[in-house]
Amino acid sequence: MKPAASNASASVLAQLFEPIRDDLREVEREFARHVQSQIAVIPAIGNYVKDGGGKRIRPAVLLMAARLAGYTGERAVLYASVVEFIHSATLVHDDIIDEAEMRRGREAAHTRWGNHLTVLFGDFLYLKSMSLALTQDDLEIIRLLCDVTLRIVEGEIYQLTKNGVTDLSEEEHFDIIRRKTAYLFAGCARIGSMLGPTTREQQEALWEYGFSIGMAFQLVDDLLDFTGDEIVLGKPVGGDLREGKMTLPVIHLLAHGDGEARALIGSIVGERRATMEEWRQLRALLAQTRSIDYAHRTAMEFVERAKRALYVFPPSAAREALLFLPDYVVSRDR
């Protein structure tokens, strides 16, 4: 995508999320406030992670879902802060596991502070998220947050057991995405719905909405690893395959390509690197089998599922913002 198009999409998103702009700022303040500690390195890492960018899409989903459900109180900001803590913890741990040196165009936290301190900081964020949630004493929401967090950790473990496995099936890959990404988005939307006077059908619809957005979001990440700009992404392209992670474009290529594709992918995964010539060859094979198109179509199917789920709610500004978000997710370039 051209940067101008991306900027236009971001501008529309900012406009639609204008009603929660102050709430998102409050989430930022809550994050900074709750990483304070007498152990000086904790707020140092916390502020570094907080200032690392990110669009805060997960908290935004929760806040807008709450508004769609008819709720505008302080609890939405608190739970949005909780999910931001959970998400930040997963990023910190993921970067250590992946040995990623960069995050959003700058040093990853573990590159600066080392693995030992940073993994413990990730644990601190997980525990802080639950401590914050417990201040509201809402057992149903706490149970949901615990379930979602456990699924994220299970997804990380499952992905590690499949690292370097080149015959990973599409369903196995989807199972990893569901656990690592989609369930947290689903939990955000459902928590928002639980704060207002919603029916069970509406709560299930917002769970489906968040889940589908999460699936689309991760599938686009898979695509950007092959189509993105390294400077815009803030990390090297092709990193997933070099790390031994099979994503949907590669899985489709292996299913529809020939021996050349299998040998090339086996070599890249085995060596954990790719020459420029191998990268060009891989891109040509992906184009030949239309694997990039297939992954994009799959992401768009989840986009349409997300939109359909919202029609159990009457028209409103909150619904319009949430209807636009899936399109933004698939049009982003980072």
C-alpha distances out from residue 26 to 33, 60, 141, 176, Å: 10, 12, 21, 32
The pLDDT of residue 234 is 52
Report the alpha-carbon distance of residue 306 to residue 232 in Å, rounded: 27
Q: What is the DSSP letter of 180?
A: I
For 88-102, 179-193, 301-315, which range has the lowest pLDDT when averaged over its residues?
88-102
The pLDDT of residue 137 is 86
Alpha helices in 164-316 (DSSP H): 170-177, 183-194, 200-227, 230-233, 239-242, 248-256, 259-271, 276-288, 291-309
Which residues are registered as beta bridge partners of 103?
106
Q: Kindly report the pTM of this predicted structure.
A: 0.94
Phi, psi of 145 (to 5 degrees): -60, -40
CA dihedral sign, ordered 102, 53, 94, 216: negative
Residue 258 has pLDDT above 70, yes or no: yes
The full set of domains in the chain, from first to last, is 11-331 (1.10.600.10)
Q: How confident is the model at residue 3 (pLDDT cuts 50, 70, 90)?
A: very low
Residue 179 has pLDDT above 80, yes or no: yes
Give the residue from 91, 159, 156, 154 showing the smallest Cα distance to 122: 91
The pLDDT of residue 105 is 78
Rg (CA), the chain: 20
Q: How confident is the model at residue 163 (pLDDT cuts 50, 70, 90)?
A: very high
What mean pLDDT do residues 270-286 have?
93
Residue 2 has pLDDT above 50, yes or no: no
Query: How big, in percent rounded to 5, are the helix, strand and coil portions of the chain?
Result: 80, 0, 20
Instruction: Decide: 300 and 214 in contact? Cβ < 8 Å.
Output: no
